[in-house]
Amino acid sequence: MWQELLAKLQQGDTKALARCISLVENEHPGYETLLKSLPASKTGIIGITGPPGAGKSTLTDALIGVFVQHQQKVAVVCVDPSSPFNLGAVLGDRIRMSDWYTNENVYIRSLATRGSMGGLHPKIIEIADLIKAAPFDYIIVETVGVGQSEVEIAGLADVTIVVVVPEAGDEVQTMKAGLMEIADIFVVNKADRPDADMFVRNLRLMLAPSFSKKQTEIPVVKTIAARKEGVKELYELIRQQLDAGQLNERTFWLLAEKAYYLIEQKRMKDVDKKKLKAAIEAACQQGNFNLYQFIAGL
Give the pLDDT mean for 142-151.
58
Lowest-confidence range among 62-66, 250-254, 278-282?
Answer: 250-254
- Could you tell me the sign of the dihedral formed by the alpha carbons of 223, 111, 75, 241, in that order? positive
- What are the tens digits of pLDDT across the range 172-229? 655 555 666 678 899 999 999 988 998 888 888 877 764 555 567 789 999 999 999 9
The amino acid at residue 181 is E
Give the pLDDT mean for 68-76.
95
Give the pLDDT mean for 141-167.
74
Longest dimension (CA), the chain: 65
Nearest to 240 by CA among 225, 219, 255, 223: 219
3-state secondary structure of 96: helix
Residue 46: pLDDT over 60: yes
Where residue 246 falls among pLDDT bands split at 50, 70, 90?
Answer: low
Q: Are 189 and 164 in contact (CB under 8 A)?
A: yes
Query: Which CATH number applies to 40-245?
Result: 3.40.50.300
d(CA 136, CA 128): 11
- What are the tens digits of pLDDT across the range 7-41? 999 999 999 999 999 998 888 888 888 998 999 88
d(CA 21, CA 7): 14
Share of the chain above pLDDT 90, in %: 37
Residue 86: pLDDT over 50: no
- What are the tens digits of pLDDT across the range 258-272? 788 788 878 888 888
Instruction: Please give the pLDDT value at position 170.
Output: 58
d(CA 39, CA 25): 19
In order of 160, 280, 290, the CA distances from 287 in angstroms are 48, 11, 9
Instruction: Please give the pLDDT value at position 280.
Output: 93
Instruction: Please give the pLDDT value at position 169.
Output: 59
